[in-house]
Amino acid sequence: MFRTHEPFKYPIQFGGDESTVWRAVQIVLNMPWLLVTIEVEEELTQTFLLNGTDDLLQCVEDESDFGRLVAVRLVLPPAYSPSSDWTFVPVCRIERELRSVDGAHPSAVLTSRDGHRYGGWPIGLTERDDSDLALLVELPMATT
């Protein structure tokens, strides 16, 4: 979750746009979140901070509204990171659970470059069988 503060409002706003430009936002909860890059036109990208996997699923499933997903990084704050510092985890696959483990609605499972899977709320390491997942997106930029 993020919070905005009036002193950080960018002094020049773009007319007609229903959004506000900020120079800074406050991280209210030090929970894992996602840094997502979307290609809106050829070689024109936008990057968003998302609260969790449900927001990511919306971007993936509504590609016509948002654009093509080109990169995802899981951002782990110190309390969730194996290094006890901020960590960026490159994601190479996004899959949807075919059935939820905890009884909630099925969510996204992220696979990192090193093969670890992440999911749930807050986003954390998870174990899922391949047979319980349906591939939504493979991100070639994050592989190798």
Can you spell out the DSSP letters for 96-128? EESS-SSSS---EEEEETTS-EEETTTTEE---
Pairwise CA distance, residues 54 & 41, whole Å = 24
Q: 115: pLDDT confidence band, cut at 50, 70 and 90? A: very high
Residue 141's pLDDT is what? 59
Q: 111: pLDDT confidence band, cut at 50, 70 and 90? A: very high
Mean pLDDT score, 8-24 = 84
Mean pLDDT score, 36-54 = 90
Contact between 125 and 89 under an 8 Å Cβ cutoff? The reply is no
Residue 100's pLDDT is what? 73
Closest by CA position to 71, among listed 144, 9, 142, 135: 142
Residue carrying structure tokens 């194996």: 82
Q: What is the overall mean pLDDT for the chain? A: 88
**19 CB contacts (<8 Å, ≥6 apart)?**
none
* 69-87 pLDDT per residue, tens: 999 999 999 999 989 999 9
Asked if residue 44 has pLDDT above 80, the reply is: yes
In the chain, % of residues over pLDDT 90: 53
**Spans of all domains in the chain:** 2-9+20-142
pTM, 2 dp? 0.85
Q: 144: pLDDT confidence band, cut at 50, 70 and 90? A: very low
In the chain, % of residues over pLDDT 70: 93
Residue 143's pLDDT is what? 45
